[in-house]
Amino acid sequence: MLAPYACQPDGSRGRLHPERMSSFRSPFQRDRDRIIHSSAFRRLKHKTQVFVEHEGDYYRTRLTHSIEVAQVARTISGVLGLNTDLAEAIALAHDLGHTPFGHTGEDALGLLMQPYGGFDHNAQALRIVTRLERHYADFDGLNLTWESLEGIAKHNGPVTGPNADAKHDGPLPYALAEVNEAWDLELSTHASAEAQVAAIADDVAYSHHDLHDGLRSGLFTEDDLMELPVTGPAFEEVDRLYPGLEKMRRRHEALRRVFGRMVEDVIAVAQNRLTAAQPKSVDDIRHMGTTIIRFSKPLYQELKAIRSFLFTRMYRAPSVMEERARVTAMVNDLFPLFLSRPEHLPAEWRADVEAAQDQVTLARIVADYVAGMTDRFAIQEHNRLFGGDQRADRR
């Protein structure tokens, strides 16, 4: 039984393009399945999480990260009586708009797109599921339910209005504005509890697996983590229970305790807040003016210390910065070349290029293409078009 404040499948606001109901899947199960079968989801297999895809077989990619986020979201949603299928769908879709080379690629593309409306990976995910996936006879995109689109747009909080984060100051990203114009996503309110769960599941997943990947890469050691909150007590507990445990088992046992503490904290806080607020519907959740799903203040402060450590020792490590510079140069080469010479785009993109009425529209088509590249394809295309000396043919 779903809680009264959960998104009820039979209460969905439906799809922009009406379809017959499935005889054996709920609307949100159908959304999840369409996301999993999309081309954009498959491409996440070869897109950076932190380490560029070719740097090692054991590091997380955007695909494995999205699967881990979905697993956490299902667990938390199930305990809270929420709709696990909707939470899973939003979790699986939340990174569809990421560029090759992770946030480094997004930063580079964002600067290049500043004259043309900017670039934002959350907004690009909406563009993918409403326009760029072109497999169905009756519509572009995946024709997801309103609730899934809302979750993709607002899982990190309101985008407009008094409760919006300061980072949303200024005009809406064009990709988000286009979707919202076609179908009002109520951007000034919070999203459903399911979407909020997907957002915090993202925090849980990357906080856990970035520690794991950082240790594997050798950028820091277990001794370093012994000095931090949350991770230090976890290693101490493992050492007390399993003295002399082999290194890799010790690492896994400690980090799974970190993972467990985060999940348990989110569940406990949510249960307390839901009991106090007594929401009677999903709209009560949307209009609370604050998030219902969050970490406790003590754990949030401890996780800030861990993230500060990861930023210094991992995300801005010299070897990572060297790779960031290399892949930034690739994006800085590819985008202007395609913009000035769109004949280099594949044949299936030609119709869109020919229909472009101005430079802004063309730039957004080029951004769609570059953002959709996997790490390996971007590297291959750069090698093909620029050669070993990484210089463009700009005739």
Closest CA to 97 of 159, 172, 54, 44: 44
Q: What does the DSSP 8-state code read for residue 129?
A: I
What pLDDT does 51 receive? 57
pLDDT band for position 392 (cuts 50, 70, 90): very low
| Confidence (pTM) | 0.95
Long-range contacts of 287-293 (CB under 8 A, 24+ apart): 287/189, 287/190, 288/190, 289/163, 289/190, 290/163, 290/190, 291/157, 291/190, 291/196, 292/193, 292/196, 293/76, 293/193, 293/196, 293/197, 293/199, 293/200, 293/266, 293/269
Closest CA to 201 of 58, 25, 357, 66: 66
pLDDT of 92 over the 90 cut: yes
Give me 287's structure tokens.
Answer: 């209009």
Taking CA atoms, 216 is separated from 55, 60, 91, 137, 248, in Å, by: 12, 11, 26, 46, 10
Please state, rounded to an integer, the average pLDDT across all residues of the chain.
94
In degrees and rounded to multiples of 5, residue 161 shows phi and psi of 85, 180
pLDDT band for position 59 (cuts 50, 70, 90): confident
What pLDDT does 99 receive? 96
Closest CA to 102 of 180, 176, 213: 213
pLDDT of 48 over the 90 cut: no
**Interatomic CA distance for residues 392 and 395, integer angstroms:** 9
- Three-class DSSP category at 23: coil
pLDDT band for position 389 (cuts 50, 70, 90): very low
Q: What does the DSSP 8-state code read for residue 156?
A: T
Question: Per-residue DSSP letters for 30-64?
Answer: HHHHHHHTSHHHHHGGGSBSSS-GGG-SSS-BHHH
pLDDT tens digits along 19-45: 999 999 999 999 999 999 999 999 999
Contact (Cβ atoms closer than 8 angstroms) between residue 334 and residue 392: no
What pLDDT does 169 receive? 79
pLDDT band for position 388 (cuts 50, 70, 90): low
pLDDT tens digits along 98-116: 999 989 999 999 999 999 9
**Interatomic CA distance for residues 173 and 171, integer angstroms:** 6
pLDDT band for position 390 (cuts 50, 70, 90): very low
**Mean pLDDT of the 53-60 span:** 61
* 145-162 CB burial, b ≥16 within 10 A, e <16: bbbbbbbbbbbbbbbeee
Contact (Cβ atoms closer than 8 angstroms) between residue 123 and residue 152: no
pLDDT tens digits along 256-299: 999 999 999 999 999 999 999 999 999 999 999 999 999 999 99
In degrees and rounded to multiples of 5, residue 262 shows phi and psi of -65, -45
pLDDT band for position 394 (cuts 50, 70, 90): very low
- Helix, strand, coil % over all residues of the chain, rounded to 5: 65, 0, 35
**Mean pLDDT of the 116-127 span:** 96
What pLDDT does 335 receive? 98
pLDDT band for position 1 (cuts 50, 70, 90): confident
CB-based contacts of 228, cutoff 8 Å, min separation 6: 305, 306, 309
**Mean pLDDT of the 78-93 span:** 98
**How many other C-beta atoms lie within 10 A of the C-beta of residue 297?**
9
Query: By mean pLDDT, which of 170-174, 203-207, 290-294, 360-364 is the weakest?
Result: 170-174
